[in-house]
Amino acid sequence: MADDRAEVLVLGAGISGCALAFHLARRGVDPVVVYDPQTPAAGATGRAAGIVTEQLWDPWDVAVARESKEEYAHLADRYDRSAFAVNGFARWTKAREAVPVLEAAVERLRSWSVPVSVLDPPTLAEKVPWGRFDDVLGAIWSPDDAVVTASTMGDLYAERARELGVDFVLGTPASRFAREGDRWELTVAGQTTLSRRAVVAAGAWSKRLLASVGHPLPLAPYRTQAAVLRPSTLDTRMFPSVHDIDLDVYVRPEENGRILAGDGTERVEADPDRFSTGGDEQFVTHLAESFGSRFPGWADAELVRAWAGVCVATPDRRPLIGPVPGASGLYTITGFNGFGVMRAGGAAARLAAVLAVGDGSERELEKIRTVLPGRFTGPFAAFPIKPGFTLEGGDDPRF
């Protein structure tokens, strides 16, 4: 059986891998092969909350989230308008010590051209009439933030990539991935694909895959939980995504009069092949208690389903995107700390530009310099997992 050849081999068909394949094909890179032992968006992408906010930590994150949002809006407008909506994003606290952190965040975000403002409790209550906010001391609001159906967006990227000639190899475990001479080799069901360059976009499996070829990076898969609920009464008009910093609960609108809520994040490393995919009783109880105190209008909501997925943390809460140090032709796009959907479109476009012109292009490399894997050097020790809708603010995990 003859070997297949690819210019770029992408390992992983989540939203990042599919977006990368799409952007590579648009830039004329050919052939591109995407491999996944499952189907597109079957991993963390299919379990993602899909909130896209610019309330982030530095100008790079803001720019990439904005690029992603614009791309999602364009794809949805052309192919599936139900997959994207601008609805705004509000977050608040009743803790007096957290108010200066929120105020500092507003000033910082404004300096990066993020249209964010301070909300008083009455205005917050107008935007979210199912809530109780009389004890809130500080709140901020981003009117241009959005929600996206991540699985649909991943499928849209895959469909557009296929139309541009990308080959998808799906549904069968690989028997081998290794470096041989000047090529990377992937063998699936007896068929080997040879590629000068390979990109690990395998989400929770990226740590294991990189280590298996002798190029480990500091990554930690962790379990997080969410649930869909159906309130007995809910205005079907679009309402904002919201985040209670103190309770560490977020809520976003879903279709058919439902809501999606999390954040049941666990701060211990998880095995992506051996984690519980259902929502824990403790998490569901926390949501019920939080709704009773903060969202009394949703307190009687029926639990439709609760689930868990695995995301990937890095030591500095920033992704690892670009060439893997010491590994010829090996790249990665992973470690999004629970914010993969927010960044996938823009991050994939930037990495595709590097791959299309080569690492020697300082202009394109500069666009991912802040997230290059080479900022870390081994050996890599365990590190604290600190993902979530955090704000800069010292060691307090709420912020």
Q: What is the pLDDT of residues 88-107, one digit of tens each?
A: 999 999 999 999 989 999 99
- Measured CA to CA, the distance from residue 345 to residue 330 in angstroms comes to 20
- Give 237's pLDDT tier (boundaries 50, 70, 90): low
Q: What is the pLDDT of residues 178-234, one digit of tens each?
A: 999 999 999 999 999 999 999 999 999 999 999 999 999 999 999 999 999 999 876
Greatest distance between any 2 Cα atoms in the chain? 70
Q: What is the mean pLDDT of residues 229-242?
A: 81
Query: Which stretch of DSSP H or E encloses residue 170?
Result: strand 167-170
Which residues sit opposite 334 in a β-bridge?
320
Q: Is the bond leading into 218 cis (omega within 30 degrees of zero)?
A: no
Q: What is the pLDDT of residues 323-334, one digit of tens each?
A: 999 999 999 999
Amino acid letter for position 323: P
* Ramachandran area for residue 200 (φ above 0: left; ψ -120 to 50: alpha; else beta): beta
Q: What is the pLDDT of residues 256-288, one digit of tens each?
A: 889 999 988 899 999 999 999 999 999 999 999
Tell me if 136 sits within 8 A of 99, measured CB to CB: no
pLDDT of residue 138: 95
Q: What is the pLDDT of residues 332-364, one digit of tens each?
A: 999 999 999 999 999 999 999 999 998 778 899
pLDDT at position 2 over 60 = no
- Options 1.10.150.110, 3.50.50.60, 3.40.50.300, 1.10.3720.10; CATH for 4-46+151-219+315-375 is 3.50.50.60
Domain ranges in the chain with CATH number 3.50.50.60: 4-46+151-219+315-375
- State the CATH class of domain 88-145+221-313: alpha beta
Q: What is the pLDDT of residues 135-185, one digit of tens each?
A: 999 999 999 999 999 999 999 999 999 999 999 999 999 999 999 999 999
**Angle at the Cα of 34 from the Cα atoms of 29 and 37, rounded to 5 degrees:** 175
Q: What is the mean pLDDT of residues 233-253?
A: 85
Domain ranges in the chain with CATH number 3.30.9.10: 88-145+221-313
pLDDT of residue 391: 59
